[in-house]
Structures are given as structure tokens and as C-alpha cells.
Structure 1
Amino acid sequence: MNPELCTLETCSIEDAYIHYQPSIPGNAIYIALFGILLVAQVVQAPLYRMWGFSVSMFAGLVLEVLGYAARILFHDDPFNFDWFLMNLISLSLGPVFFCAALYFLLGRIVVVYNGEDISRLRPKMYATFFISCDAIALVMQSAGGAITSTADDSDMRTVGTNVMIAGLAFQVAALTLFIYLGSEFAIRLRRRAAQSAGRRDSDRKDDEFAAIREKRRWKVWIFTIVLSTLLVYTRSIFRVIELNGGYDSELANDEAAFMVLEGALISIMCICMTALHPGVALQQKRRKRDSSVELLERTP
């Protein structure tokens, strides 16, 4: 049976692409929230000029708005493949860009802690390596979406879905490595701090970033980075499990699970990265440049 020939009056909801009508109020809340965060990121971008981070956040937020708009359109027409695909692709690809935004930040953290000597990679290599991984994940998920959208039969749509799952799994693997390297750096940093606990203040006078690290907002921001990474990681694992079970699985048709493990987790992450923008923690507002910012920017 072709779902495109169905309506809510002529067919059961069990014959639709998802077996429920998405909540209009719930999805409207997410559209409004992501829309507000999108405007905030646009305003913040020229203030802090962290263009890699800002462009990644912008792209991800646009996709989130499109994805939840598709879910609202899907409410009255759950047999429409276009709305289903728009929802699937947008909400699958959006977090890829949020991962990219996070990848830009680990190298900055290494620089601020003067940790080049204890870091596995050079600061800029974190962004280079993990953005490359993100690009691969993006291509795989986009290719899967393209195959699914152009397939003439269910077998090819299954192939497209499997390619998307592979892209999501690759994204999870990259995030796992990112978490490992970040955790290892934190452990090495703690050990170095313990070993240098008795160092005299005169030995630390050349520390360009001490003023940044001593501020409360820096410590809060580090916590938000850890939280945001774990939120995206949890969401990505959920999506792999969800899609791996197929569109007819119980998890794929559990709206409550989707709204929490997809919508809520990504919302909290975006709020964290907008309310406490990295430029604030890094003191990177361009109205008044200082030597710390200049050194941070030219660090290889």
C-alpha cells in the first residue's frame, strides 16, 4: 500500500510513516526556542567573531527549526513522505553542526591552560581532525537522506536508512574519541597542577591566561562544555538505537522519548552555548583587545 494515497479519514495511523500525530504545542515550543537562540547567535557572532563556532551553531539551529516545522506539518498529514523526510534529515543533521561547534573549543581550552606540552594534539589540530570526522558523518547522513528521498522501493529506502545509521554511528565514535582526549587532558592537567602546587608566584608571572582562568565564569563555562558534550553524545546514541530499530519499532514511534532525548537534550545544549557564549569565557569581545586574546588567536 502506498501511504501517499492515504488520509487520516481513509487509513489507520498505523499505516503512516510514524504511528502518531506529532504534538503541535510541543513542537511549536521547540520552534520558538530554537528561533530565539538562532537570533541570539546571529547577534553574538559579530561581537565575538568566533566564526567557526558561530557558523556551526547557526546551521544547526536553522536545521532544528526546519525539522520541528516539518513535524507540525506532519500532524495533519502523517502520510506525506516529504514532511517525514524533512523531519528526519533536518533533525539528524542539526546536531552534526553542534558537534562541530564543540570541536572548535577544545583547542582553545588547551591554550588557556598552557597545556600544549601535555596535550595529545596541537591545539588547532583538535578542530582540524574532528571537523574532518564531522564532515564524513555529515556526508554519510546526507547521502543516506538522498538515497531515501529518491528511492522507488522499500529496499532502497532501507539502504538509505542504513547509510544514515552508519553516519550517526561514525559521529558517536568521533564524539567518544573527543570525550576520551578531553578527559585525558583534564587528568594530565590535574596531575601537573598537583606537581606544581608549591611553585612560587614569581614563577607564574608570565602566565598570559591566569586572569581568564581565575574568573568564575570560566569555571562555569568549562562545566557547560562538559554538559553540552554529554548531552549531544546521549542524543546521538539514542538516534542510532532509534533508527536501527526501524521506523516501525516501538522506540521510533515513542513521541515522549523523542521529545526528551532529542528535543530537550539538544535544547539544553544550545541554551548553554548561547547563554554563556565561548567569547564571554575567553574574554574575546573585540571592543577592547588585550594581549591574552591576541596570544590566543595566534597560537598554532
Structure 2
Amino acid sequence: MFILHSLQTNTDNFVAALHVAQVTYFKMWWLFPTAVLCGIGEIIGWSGRLWSSITPIDETPFTIQISSTIIAPTPLLAATFVIMARVIDQLGTSYSRLTPMGYTLVFLPCDIISLVVQGIGGGTASSTSHLSGANRGGRVMLGGIAFQFLTIIVFSALMCDFTLRYLLDRPV
């Protein structure tokens, strides 16, 4: 178990370092608060999970790992929405059901809402000493995850639609 956690943390370290190098090389500074923060958040979360496996009775590492591993990927998802908008702008807006700005205006607020709901749920679950409060916080966090999952499904469907229309040269 310890080895698996160490491998995951090392992989996250490598990916985060790779994102920093790519952001710097391509001078895409807007990716620092998204992709790079995601990598750092994942490193913190998996480090908390490793710490939790060493001291399973301690609540602090559990709180760190549950909060970080759930919330950290959200900024990377926001970057994906912005990148897709840029791809559509480059390849042709006639193949997309939404404008490039539409992707940002629709999906970015959904990402922020899911992040806030997950944060509220995680904070509630980790700050209470009663089982009922922890369960309530867990359900709120699960609701945020479900909303984010639905957002990803809709985004993926639109992205696949765009890709197929572009490859088949069939504008909307």
C-alpha cells in the first residue's frame, strides 16, 4: 500500500513539473493558476493520503487528502474548457454548436459552482465531530461531484460533436 501511494505522489510530482516546464516554454502564463495549481493540489492530496496510511488514527492527513484530491482537479477542468474554446477558434467556429466564448460562459461557471459546493461539503464533513454532520457534508460534496460529472458529460458530448463535424467537414 505504501509503495502505491509513493508511486502516485511521484507521478503527480513529475506531471506538475512537466506542466510548469510547458507553461514556461510556451509562455502560456494563464495555465499557472489552473494546470500547475492542480498538480500542486494533487501532490498535497496524495501526500496526505500517504501520511494517512502511516498514521490512520490522525484526522489531519485524512482531511488534507479528502479535500485536496477532490478539489484539485477542478482548475484543470477549467483549463480544458478554455483550451477547447481556443481549438474551436483555430479550427473553425462553424463546426461548433457553441461559440468559443460560449464554452467559457457556460462551462466555467459550472466548474466554479461545483468547486464551491464541493468545498462547502468537504469543509462541513471535515469540521464536524458528529457522524450526522459528516454524512451531510459528504452528501453535499457528492452533489458537487455529481454536478461536475454532468458538466463533463455535456462538455464531452459537445467536444465529440465538434470533432466529428470537423473531421467529416459538416458545419452546424
TM-score (normalizing by structure 1): 0.54
* Residues 97-147 of structure 1: per-residue CA shift (max 9 Å, x gap): 221221111112212212x12322211321232121111111011101111
Q: 1:140 matched to which residue of 2?
A: 117
- Flag structure 1 segments of 5+ consecutive residues without an equivalent: 1-22, 196-300
Distance 2:89 2:80 in 1: 15
Match of 2:27 among 16, 39, 49: 49
Distance in 2 separating the partners of 1:128 and 1:48: 25
Paired AA for residue 44 in structure 2:
L
**What's the secondary structure of 2:95's corresponding residue?**
coil
More helix by share: 2
Higher relative contact order (Cα pairs below 8 Å, separated by 6+ residues): 1
Q: What is the identity percentage for the equivalent residue pairs of Structure 1 and Structure 2?
A: 23
What is the aligned-residue RMSD (CA, Å)?
A: 1.8
Report 1:190-205 matches (<5 A).
190-192=167-169
- In terms of Rg, which structure is larger? 1
For 1:27, the aligned partner's letter is H
**Structure 2 vs 1, CA of residues 39 and 186 (structure 1 numbering), >3 Å: closer, same or farther?**
closer
- The whole-number CA distance in structure 2 between the counterparts of 1:40 and 1:182 is 25
Within the alignment, does 1:59 sit opposite 2:37 as a pair?
yes
Describe the superposition over 1:12-56 as per-residue Cα deviations: whole angstroms up to 9, x where unpaired. Answer: xxxxxxxxxxx2211111212211222222222232232333421
Matches of 2:78 and 2:122 in 1, distance apart?
20
> Which position in structure 1 is the counterpart of 2:147?
170
Q: Which amino acid aligns with 2:159?
A: G
Instruction: Summarize deviations over 1:259-290 as a string: whole Å, max 9, x none.
Output: xxxxxxxxxxxxxxxxxxxxxxxxxxxxxxxx
Separation in structure 1 between the aligned mates of residue 169 and residue 4 of structure 2, nearest angstrom = 48
* 8 A Cα contact 1:137 1:168, kept in partner: yes
Work out the number of aligned pairs and report it: 171
| Structure 2 unpaired stretches of 5+ | none
SS at match of 2:72: helix
